[in-house]
Amino acid sequence: MTYLLALDQGTSSSRSIVFDRAGRIVTMAQREFRQIYPQPGWVEHDPEEIWQTQLATAQQALAQANLTAKDIVAIGITNQRETTLVWNRRTGLPIHNAIVWQDRRGEPLCAQLRAQGHEEQVRRSTGLVIDAYFSATKIRWILDHVKGAHIAAAQGDLAFGTVDSWLLWKLTGGQVHATDVSNASRTMLYDIRHNTWDHELLKLLHVPDSLLPQVHPSSHVFGETQPQMFGAPIKVAGIAGDQQSALFGQACFKAGLAKNTYGTGCFMLMHTGEKFQRSANGLITTAAAQPGAKPEFAFEGSVFIGGAVVQWLRDGLNAIKASGEVQGLAESVPDAGGVMFVPAFTGLGAPYWDANARGAIVGLTRGSTVAHIARAALESIAFQSAALLQAMSRDAQASGGSSVAELRVDGGACVNDLLMQFQADLLGIPVVRPQVVETTALGAAYLAGLATGVYQDLDELSALWQVERRFHPTMPRERAQQLMANWERAVRQTTAV
């Protein structure tokens, strides 16, 4: 039997999944780790904790499956993107906690860059908007606030990486400092059209290029693990940021195919082929996972608060004791009773891009109950995702492409049938849930398998993708359009704060 090991390093947990050649899950191990909140709007992780939990789950997954390193053809890594680490090359020790993608401390510098008129320069090169979400201002903050960091960086003593680079460095015993194009594209420092670091932007941000990892295609033999970790070396042969990895795992290899991942946030990507296109509708252009040297692109929209709204119902409002209870509570009422919940706890992402927006629950009446709020919370995930797909369709049509015909879904919240049906109703197109919903990890395994000859080509991978359920729209289009208009009205109220 042929097996592939995917390391899925997420925002709240590290997971390892063993897949067989057919893309079926053999075993899975998972460990949560601490979320560190030094002050409002700041989010950090302990880099050593990320590493230790990831290594432990990988070793556990192999033990559970009764496999050894010799049974694993290759490892694929997929990771929370934009999260920023800086470490000392000689000691291998981080000089600061990892600054997480959700962290907003870079916003003052972003506002300064916008005021200086650098938005067009950033969009033209990186495909991104200037936002604290991306890695660039996080790197700069670490260099500015850790004593001696600027000098150490100038002397070539420091290394920057997104989480994949950190894991690769640790797995290879400090032998390899590299990343893939999909992760590099999230730094706000990478020219995605020419697949190279942008030296003008590096200069603008005062980031020395000695900090930077080498960039390779996503399907590439990056190096080998240290023998003592698993009993023998294993090739690390695939790396992609979690959302590009999910797009790949969903077999969205051609222009016009789209997926939405329902996790802590929601992330929708539509493959746009080999041509760099810019959005006129608030989306960003990003590098898709690249099997080879040719650049491939995708439109992306990010919802900052997706499944996390259910955690807020549990921990902030105490409306439920466990996240799994939300569907039952939401289904106890026929609809949200006119309640709209905009969970802009950390501002609004695409297509609105308002860092100052704050959450709001509107449309409350004397008859509103916690069940209506729970239903509105669930529906907010679908409303935000529908706004993204509408923006994508407008961009696709403007560039001569066609609208998205179906939306492939994955991530934790996609198992919620009520949410998936409501999503299909809002969109007016089928929502398709695959048999393997762990598509983020699956994409990393596929990339590693391609690089090591387990799979011959993309056609072979497309044939492995199987549908578990299709949700067809049942709501009249007029009703769906009215609901979307109500949603947009509610969004406008949050941005007026």
Q: Per-residue confidence at 242, pLDDT binned at 50, 70, 90?
A: very high
Q: pLDDT band for position 226 (50/70/90)?
A: very high
pLDDT at 349 (0 to 100): 77
Q: Which long-range contacts (CB under 8 A, 24 or more apart) does 24-32 make?
A: 24/436, 25/436, 25/438, 26/65, 26/67, 27/61, 27/64, 27/65, 28/61, 28/438, 29/56, 29/57, 29/58, 29/60, 29/61, 29/64, 30/57, 31/56, 31/57
Band of the pLDDT at 54, cuts 50, 70, 90?
Answer: very high
Q: What is the DSSP letter of 156?
A: T
pLDDT in tens, 80-122: 999 999 999 999 999 999 999 989 899 999 999 999 999 999 9
In CATH, the architecture of 3-243 is 2-Layer Sandwich (3.30)
| pLDDT value of residue 496 | 58
Helix, strand, coil % in the chain, rounded to nearest 5: 40, 25, 40
């960003």: which residue's tokens? 284
Mean pLDDT of 468-475: 96
pLDDT of residue 357: 86
Q: If phi over 0 gives left and psi between -120 and 50 gives alpha, with beta otherwise, what is residue 446?
A: alpha
- Percent of the chain at pLDDT > 90 equals 74
398 or 55, greater pLDDT: 55
Residue 497, pLDDT > 60, answer: no
Mean pLDDT of 145-169: 96
Least confident of 132-146, 297-311, 388-402: 388-402
- DSSP letter at 36? B
Confidence of residue 340 (pLDDT cuts 50, 70, 90): very high
Q: Stretch 379-394: mean pLDDT, rounded?
A: 90
Tell me how far apart the alpha carbons of residues 378 and 419 are, in angstroms, rounded to a whole number: 7
- Helix segments in 345-438, DSSP class H: 370-398, 417-427
pLDDT at 426 exceeding the cut of 90: yes
Distance CA 239, CA 219 (A): 7
Whether the per-residue pLDDT at 321 is higher than 90: the answer is no
Two tokens, residue 123: 């969009």
What is the pLDDT, as a whole number, of residue 427? 93
Q: Extract the tokens encoding 274.
A: 């080999």
CA-to-CA distance for 300 and 447, rounded, in angstroms? 20
Q: Where are the domains of the chain?
A: 3-243
- The pLDDT-based confidence of 232 (bands split at 50, 70, 90) is very high
Runs of H (alpha helix) within 106-188: 107-115, 119-126, 135-145, 149-154, 163-171, 181-184
CA distance 281 to 390: 9
Averaged confidence pLDDT in the chain: 92
Examine the pLDDT at 413 and tell me if it is beyond 90. Answer: no
First to last CA, the chain: 58
Alpha carbons 343 and 347: distance in angstroms, whole number: 9
User: Phi, psi at residue 421, to the nearest 5°?
Assistant: -65, -45
Structure tokens that stand for 181 in this block: 């194009």
